[in-house]
């Protein structure tokens, strides 16, 4: 390649060499070389040859020195292509590390956990004075401890599903090879330890038991040992997700604020009961729907999900039906509220969400994995929206 580049410059020098002078010219001055008498034609030819040789030599020397100093930039300039960023630079390495951890953490589950804790914590608030520093500290402690446990649960699931994820989710760090198994084990172990440590330091028994039960169910769901790996069995998998998302999150984190932060009796008002019932529907839907785009890998590795047994289309419409039932019940509960503002907001809000769900469900292409995955993330968005409505139920 270098010889080709040099060759192209050599031709350019010859094509722009000064023209041969007339035989009548008295002299020729060649800058940087020497001058000759024009009367001797042979010397003129030698002069031009020496001129070219001298300038080419100087150019080659300069070019080779520049090439050695910055070969990559010279080649880039000639090809008119931008220079790629150095993958070994600290900034690039940090960006890659953060991106890998972001995907490893399964952010949609983290967002759902944080929103649910804030939402059910608000159900324990009885008046404006309850918004004290103790309340915000208690909510923050719960969110951070639950975040650590969430990383353990989703990370353990990825460690147990590396081969399956190479088919279903090849973008995850363990499946793609960005993380080694050793790295994955270190991450999940560290986050489990930090979660329990924080729960113990805080001293809230509802918070600690929420973390401990989530740890047990998350481990039983994923780890591949005899009598466990409950994700292989559709009913057991759904029960694990329902227990964590619908019961532990609503009840335990509400009690953390109600009994530990405020020091009140463990009374369960109407909004807490509604949240637990509604999220039972949602948790079952999440448990069923998450397997719809993963049917190929699940079939290969013998995961007997409901999608594998019943087919994608049937499970999809079961999920839509369950969510529409949940929205219908929510509308009835909202209409029975003695507070006019709560009645209007909850009825109208759930009616709008139910209509949006139905309209989008009718237009989905069930033959497209991309479309199904996008719809699954849409269900998580409905999940987030519900936690914005739950504190308004009265």
pLDDT tens-digit series, residues 323-358: 999 999 999 999 999 999 999 999 999 999 999 999
pLDDT the model gives residue 153: 96
Residues in the chain: 394
In the structure, what pLDDT confidence band is assigned to residue 24 with cuts at 50, 70 and 90? very low
Question: How far apart, in whole angstroms, are the C-alpha atoms of residue 251 and residue 255?
Answer: 6
Using the predicted structure, report yes or no on whether residue 297 has a pLDDT greater than 50.
Answer: yes
* pLDDT above 70 as % of the chain: 77
Q: Which own/partner contact pairs does 350-358 have at CB distance under 8 Å and 24+ positions apart? A: 350/389, 351/327, 353/327, 353/382, 353/385, 353/386, 354/323, 354/324, 354/327, 354/328, 357/320, 357/323, 357/324, 357/327, 357/382, 358/320, 358/324
Return mean pLDDT, the chain. Answer: 81
More reliable by pLDDT, 232 or 132: 132
Q: Which residues does residue 119 pair with via DSSP β-bridges, in sequence order?
A: none
d(CA 99, CA 139): 27
Secondary structure class of 37 (helix, strand, coil): strand
Q: How do the residues of the chain divide into helix, strand and coil, expressed in percent and rounded to 5?
A: 75, 0, 20
76-93 per-position pLDDT tens digit: 433 344 444 455 566 668
At residue 317's C-alpha, the angle toward residues 315 and 320, to 5°, is: 115
- Is pLDDT larger for residue 213 or for residue 76? 213
The pLDDT value given to residue 47: 46
Q: What pLDDT is attached to residue 233?
A: 86
| Phi, psi of 36, rounded to the nearest 5 degrees | -135, 165
Q: What is the DSSP string of 123-185?
A: TT--SGGG--HHHHHHHHHHHHHHHHHHHHHHHHHHHHTHHHHHHH-TTSHHHHTSS-HHHHH
pLDDT at 89: 61
Residue with tokens 């939402």: 119
**279, 250 Cβ separation under 8 angstroms:** yes
Tell me how far apart the alpha carbons of residues 213 and 243 are, in angstroms, rounded to a whole number.
Answer: 9
Residue 235 pLDDT level (bands cut at 50, 70, 90): confident
Answer yes or no: is pLDDT of 7 > 60: no
Cα separation, 253 vs 233, whole angstroms:
28
Q: Which of 280, 162, 173 is nearest to 224 (CA)?
A: 162
pLDDT at residue 38 tops 50: no
Tell me the CB-side half-sphere exposure of residue 14, using CA atoms within 13 A. Answer: 7
pLDDT band at 156 (very low <50, low <70, confident <90, very high): very high
Segment (H or E) for 308: helix 306-310
pLDDT at 50 over 70: no
- Give the least confident one: 47-56, 244-253, 282-291, 359-368: 47-56
pLDDT of 6 over the 70 cut: no
The mean pLDDT of 10-24, rounded to a whole number, is: 42
Of the ranges 18-27, 294-303, 315-324, which one carries the lowest mean pLDDT score? Answer: 18-27
- pLDDT tens, residue by residue, 261-274: 999 999 999 999 99
Percent of the chain exceeding pLDDT 90 equals 62
Residue reference for tokens 């520049």: 66
């Amino acid at each position: 390649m270098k010889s080709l580049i040099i060759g192209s410059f050599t031709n350019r020098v010859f094509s722009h060499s000064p023209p041969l002078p007339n035989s009548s010219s008295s002299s020729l001055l060649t800058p940087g070389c020497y001058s000759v008498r024009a009367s001797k034609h042979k010397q003129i030819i030698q002069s031009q040859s020496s001129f070219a040789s001298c300038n080419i030599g100087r150019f080659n020397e300069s070019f080779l020195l520049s090439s050695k100093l910055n070969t990559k930039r010279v080649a880039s300039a000639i090809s008119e292509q931008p220079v790629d960023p150095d993958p070994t630079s600290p900034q690039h390495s940090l960006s890659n590390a953060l991106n890998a951890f972001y995907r490893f953490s399964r952010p949609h589950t983290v967002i759902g956990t944080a929103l649910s804790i804030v939402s059910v914590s608000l159900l324990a608030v009885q008046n404006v004075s309850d918004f004290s520093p103790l309340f915000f500290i208690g909510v923050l402690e719960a969110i951070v401890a639950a975040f650590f446990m969430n990383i353990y649960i989703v990370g353990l699931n990825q460690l147990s599903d590396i081969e399956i994820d190479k088919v279903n989710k090849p973008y995850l760090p363990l499946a793609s090879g960005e993380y080694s198994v050793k790295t994955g084990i270190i991450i999940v172990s560290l986050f489990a330890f930090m979660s329990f440590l924080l729960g113990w330091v805080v001293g809230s028994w509802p918070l600690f038991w929420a973390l401990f039960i989530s740890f047990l169910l998350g481990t039983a769901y994923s780890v591949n040992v005899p009598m466990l790996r409950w994700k292989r069995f559709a009913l057991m998998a759904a029960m694990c997700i329902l227990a964590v998302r619908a019961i532990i999150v609503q009840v335990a984190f509400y009690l953390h604020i109600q009994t530990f932060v405020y020091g009140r009796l463990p009374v369960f008002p109407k909004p807490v009961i509604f949240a637990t019932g509604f999220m039972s529907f949602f948790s079952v839907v999440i448990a069923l729907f998450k397997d719809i785009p993963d049917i190929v890998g699940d079939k290969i590795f013998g995961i007997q999900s409901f999608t594998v047994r019943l087919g994608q289309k049937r499970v999809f419409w079961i999920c839509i039906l369950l969510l529409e039932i949940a929205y219908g019940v929510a509308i009835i509960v909202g209409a029975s509220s003695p507070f006019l503002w709560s009645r209007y907001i909850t009825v109208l809000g759930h009616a709008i969400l139910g209509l949006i769900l139905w309209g989008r469900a009718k237009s989905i292409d069930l033959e497209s994995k991309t479309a199904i995955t996008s719809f699954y993330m849409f269900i998580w968005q409905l999940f987030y929206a519900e936690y914005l409505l739950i504190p308004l139920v009265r």
